[in-house]
Structure 1
Amino acid sequence: MIRAVSTDPVPIAQALIRCPSVTPADEGALDVVQRLLEPLGFDCTRLVFGPEDYRVDNLFARRGGEGPHVCYCGHTDVVPPGNLAAWTDDPFAGVVRDGVLYGRGACDMKGGIAAFVAGLADYLAVHPGHRGSISLLITGDEEARSVDGTARVLEWMAANGHIPDMALVGEPTSRSTLGDTIKIGRRGSLNAHITVTGVQGHSAYPAKADNPIHRLVAALGPLLAAPLDNGSDFFPPTTLQVTGFDVGNTATNVIPAVAKAMLNIRFNNHHTSAALTERLHAALRAAGCSYDLVAECSGESFLTRPGPFVDALSRAIERSTGVVPALDTGGGTSDARFIARYCPVAEFGAVGATLHQVNESAPVDELRRLAGTYREVLAELLG
C-alpha cells in the first residue's frame, strides 16, 4: 500500500541540504531519500563500498519487477562550500528567501533528487498500478573520486538482475530555461602525462647534449597543427589542450635532462581513449623521443541516439514546460558515462546557473515545475 509522501519538492530539498554530505560523507542524506521511498513501495538496498578511509554509502531502490524498467540516477554528495564568510546564509541551512532556495546542493543536485521524488509520489498517486518498474540509483561519490559510487552499484545491479532498460540522470542540464536541453551523450576525457628524457649539457655545445624540449615540441607540433577531426552529428570537434609544460630549469645556459608535459583531450565518438593513446605514442616515437607516457581516461565518449527513449523524454518535457528541448552533448563528464556501458541513458534537470558557486540556489517555482516534468516523464515512459 502506498502511503502519502509530499509532492512538494521544497521541503524534501531542504531536508537534503541540511545534511552536510561533502564527498564522501553522507550525514543522513540517503536516509532522507530512503524514508521517502519506502512508503511508496520501494525495496531499498544500501551498498557501501571503498576503503576504510573513504567509505561511500549508496542507495538502490526499486518498485516492481517487470519491464520496462526506468532508473533515475543522481547523487547526494556535494562539493565543499568554500569560503563560509562569502555565503549570505549557512550553506547547509536550506533557507528559502524571496522565492529562492539557498544551500549547497540546491542546484547540483539535491534539488533535482527532491523534484524527482516529489514527481514520483505525484505519479504513483494517480498510477499505483503502472506497468513496468521504477528504480533509483543514488550515490554519495560523484563529486570526487567517482570510483565507489555509480560504477560499483552498476556492477552490483548487473549481478543481481537490476540493469534497467533506460536511465535518466538528473544533473542540471537546462541552460537558461527549464526544459531547453537534454544531454544525450558526453565527450570522453583523456589525461596524458608525458616525460621526455634527454642528455643535459651546456647550451653553447648542443652537439654534446640531447635537448628533450626540442623533441617534445617536435612531437606535440603535429598534434596541435590540425584538428583531430571535424566533429560528428551530435559532437563538436575533438580538442587537445596542453595543460602543463615543465623542465625544472632556472639556468639560461643549461640544456635540461628532462621535459614534461600534461595534455587533456576531450574527444567525440570518432575516437576511443586507446586509439588516442596510441596516437600520442606514435607522435613521440616519430620525434625520436626517449619517453614515458601515462594516460588516464576518466570516461569514454558515448551517445544515446534519438529513438523511442529520447523521443518520449522530449515529448514529456515539451508537454510539461512548453519548451522543445535541444539535444546536446556539451559539458564535462558525469556518472552517465558509467551507465552508458549498460543501457541507453540521457540527462535532464534544472537550470545549472549556480552549481558549485557561493550562495548556490534554486528557484522554488523551478523545483516545483521540475517535479511536474518528472511526473510527465514517468507517465510518458510507463503510462
Structure 2
Amino acid sequence: MSATLRLAEQLIALPSVTPEDGGCIPLINSHLEPLGFKCEVIDLGPENFRVRNLWAKKAGSSGHTLAFAGHTDVVPTGPLQKWTSDPFTPTHRDGKLFGRGASDMKTSLAAMVVATQEFYQECPEPALGIAFLLTSDEEGPALDGTVRICDMLQQRHETPDFCIVGEPTSVKQSGDMIKNGRRGSLSGKLIVKGIQGHIAYPQLADNPVHRAAPALAELASMVWDEGNQFFPPTSWQISNVQAGTGATNVIPGEMVIDFNFRFCTESTEATLKQRLTDVLIKHQLKFEIEWTLGGLPFLTTPGTLVKAVQEAILEVTGLNTELSTTGGTSDGRFIAQTCPQVIELGPPNATIHKIDEHVALADIEPLKNIYKKVLLNLNQACARQHGKTP
C-alpha cells in the first residue's frame, strides 16, 4: 500500500460530517510538523457550530509560497442502509476505494501531504515555500472557514503567491481537467406585492402572479453577457416560486421568487442587480429584493501556475489537460481575492456527494505525483527568478 493510499484511508475512517473535523487536521499536522511546518489550528464560530481551520507554513528561500487548500469536512452520508459498505470504513472493491470523502476530498489531502513529504526529500532547502490552508467548513455555510483565514492572512500580509485547491475537477482520470476559474453566484429573493381577494372578483384584487409573468419572461430571455474565452455567458435561473394560500378561490397577495445568477467576469454584481431591477420597474411592479452574494467570479489566466500544472500533468499522465471554469463554487472564490494565481485540481468527480462515493485506485498515485511535480516546477521557476540553482 502506498503512503498516499494509507493516509487517504486513515482520513476517510475519521467521521467528519460538516462542520466536524473528526481529527483530520491533527492527523495531517502529525505529518507536517516533522517537516518543519509551523501549524496553527484556529477554531472559529459559535459553540454549537465550531469550525476547525489550519494554516501551516514552511518558508522557502525565494519568499514565494504555494498553498495547498482544501476541506476536511464531508457531506452527510444519506441513508446508511443504501451504502454497500460503511461510509467511514474505507473499502476496496473492483479497483476502487469506497468511503465518504474518497473523492471529495480526502484523497486530495493525502496526495498533497505525501507530495510535500517527497518534495522535501528531493529538495531539502527549496526556493519555494509551501503552506496548507484547510477548513472543516466548506460543505456547510462557509462562514467561519477559508474566508475568515484569508482575512487573517491579508491582515498579517502573509497571503500566498500560488494556490492549488484540491477539489475533484477531473472527469475520467486524474489530471484531464483543471479549473482555472469559477463563475460567481448571486442569489435573490424577489417579493412581488399584490392585493389579495376573491377569485370571482378580480377587479377588487391585484394578482401579483399575473403582474410578474411578463417581467419574468423578459428576464428569462435576456442576454446578460456573451461570456469570454474562459467563461460561458452569465445565466439567470428561477429555482422556486411561491404564491397563494392553498385555496383555489383566493387571489394571492404576494408572490415570492427565488433566483440565481451564475455570472462570469464580463458582468459585475452591481450591473446585474441594476439590470434586473430596471426590468421590474419597467413592468411597474411593486417589489422587494433580498440579495445574497455567494461568491465573486475568479480567473487565473495562463501564467506561472497554470504552466507548471500543465507541464506536470503532461509529464505524469501524458494528458494535455483541459482548462475549465464550469461547475459550482468552491473556496477558491475566497482565496482568489488575495492570491493572484489559483487553480483547482483533484480526482474525478463523478461520485461526489453520492451513495457509495469512491475513487479509482489507479487515480490516487498519479494525483500525488502531479502535485509533487508542480512543486518541483514552481521551485525551479522561483529559483530562476531569484538567480539561484534549484
TM above 0.5, yes or no, is yes
Tell me what 2:19 maps to: 24
**SS of equivalent to 1:116:** helix
Which residue number in structure 1 is paired with residue 278 of structure 2?
282
CA distance in structure 2 between the partners assigned to 1:61 and 1:139 by the alignment: 12
CA distance in 1, matches of 2:93, 2:216: 52
Partner of 1:39: 34
Aligned to 1:223: 219
CA contact (8 A) 1:7 1:121 kept: no
Measured in 2, the distance between the counterparts of 1:362 and 1:260 equals 41
1:250-278 deviations in whole A, cap 9, x for unaligned?
44443221111111111111112232122
| Distance apart, 1:209 and its partner CA | 2.3
Q: Which residue of 2 aligns with 1:346?
A: 343
- Supply the distance in 2 between the matched residues of 1:277 and 1:67 (Cα, whole angstroms): 41
Matched, 1:103 2:117: no
Question: Helix, strand or coil for the counterpart of 1:306?
Answer: coil
Say whether 1:77 aligns with 2:73.
yes
Structure 2 counterpart of 1:174: 170
Equivalent of 1:53 in 48, 54, 57: 48
Corresponding position of 2:58: 63
Equivalent residue in structure 1 for 2:260, among 259, 264, 270: 264
Check conservation: 1:196, 1:258, Cα contact below 8 A. Answer: yes
Stretch moving more, 42-51 or 197-206: 197-206
CA distance in structure 2 between the partners assigned to 1:353 and 1:224 by the alignment: 30
Give CA-to-partner distance per residue, 1:129-186, whole Å, 9 cap, x none: 1112110101110001111110011111122232011111011111112211110111
Letter in 2 for 1:22: V
Which residue of structure 1 aligns with residue 230 of structure 2? Answer: 234
Q: Give the TM-score taking structure 2 as reference length.
A: 0.93
Match of 2:138 in 1: 142
* Distance in 2 between residues matched to 1:31 and 1:49, nearest whole Å: 16
More displaced, 39-48 or 215-224?
Answer: 215-224
Please state how far the C-alpha of 1:229 moved relative to its aligned partner.
2.2
Alignment pair present for 1:13 and 2:11: no
Q: Which residue of 2 aligns with 1:358?
A: 355
> Take 2:104 and 2:337, find their aligned partners in 1: how far apart are those partners?
24
Q: Do structure 1's residue 378 and structure 2's residue 375 form an aligned pair?
A: yes
Structure 2 unpaired stretches of 5+: 381-390
Deviation of 1:279 after TM superposition, in Å, equals 2.1
| 1:369 counterpart = 2:369 | no
Native 8 Å contact 1:68 1:382 kept in 2 = no
**What secondary structure sits across from 2:67 in the alignment?**
strand
Measured after TM superposition, the shift of residue 202 of structure 1 is: 3.5
* SS of residue matched to 1:39: helix
Residue of structure 2 equivalent to 1:3:
none
Matches of 1:214 and 1:56, distance apart in 2 = 46
Alpha-carbon offset, residue 205 of structure 1: 3.7
Aligned with residue 89 of structure 1, among 74, 85, 97: 85
Task: State the AA in 2 paired with 1:105.
Answer: G
4+ residue segments displaced more than 6 Å: none
Counterpart contact for 1:7–1:119, Cα < 8 Å: no
Secondary structure of 1:109's aligned partner? helix
Aligned mates of 1:291, 1:168 — CA distance in 2: 42
Give the alignment's TM-score, normalised by structure 1: 0.95
Q: d(CA) in 2 for partners of 1:370 and 1:76? A: 18
Q: Tell me, what secondary structure is at the counterpart of 2:68?
A: strand
Equivalent in 182, 185, 192 of residue 188 of structure 2: 192
User: How far apart are residue 100 of structure 1 and its match?
Assistant: 2.0
Return the offset for 1:55. Answer: 0.7
SS in 2 for 1:283: helix
Q: Which residue number corresponds to residue 319 of structure 2? A: 323
Q: Which amino acid aligns with 1:371?
A: K
| Equivalent in 305, 312, 332 of residue 309 of structure 1 | 305
Aligned residue for 2:384? none
Alpha-carbon distance, 1:98 to partner: 4.2
**Cα distance in 2 for residues equivalent to 1:71 and 1:26:** 20
> Displacement of 1:97 after TM fit?
3.5
Shift of 1:282: 1.6
2:293 corresponds to:
297
Counterpart for residue 128 of structure 1: 124
Contact 2:45/2:51, CA 8 A, preserved across alignment: yes
After superposition, what is the alpha-carbon deviation per residue over 1:55-112, rounded to whole angstroms, capped at 9, x for unaligned?
1011111111542211110111001111111112111111233432111111100011
- The number of aligned residues is 378
Letter in 1 for 2:252: P
Match of 2:240 in 1: 244
Q: Choose 251-260 or 158-167, whichever is displaced more.
A: 251-260
Is the contact made by 2:244 and 2:251 (CA closer than 8 Å) also made in structure 1?
A: no
Give the letter for the 2:142 counterpart: S
Instruction: Give the CA deviation at 1:306.
Output: 1.2
Percent identity between the two aligned chains: 43
Structure-2 separation of matches of 1:130 and 1:149: 29
SS of 2:255's equivalent? strand
- Structure 1 residues 202, 99: closer, same or farther in 2, change over 3 A? closer
Q: Partners in 2 of 1:85 and 1:206 — Cα distance?
A: 52
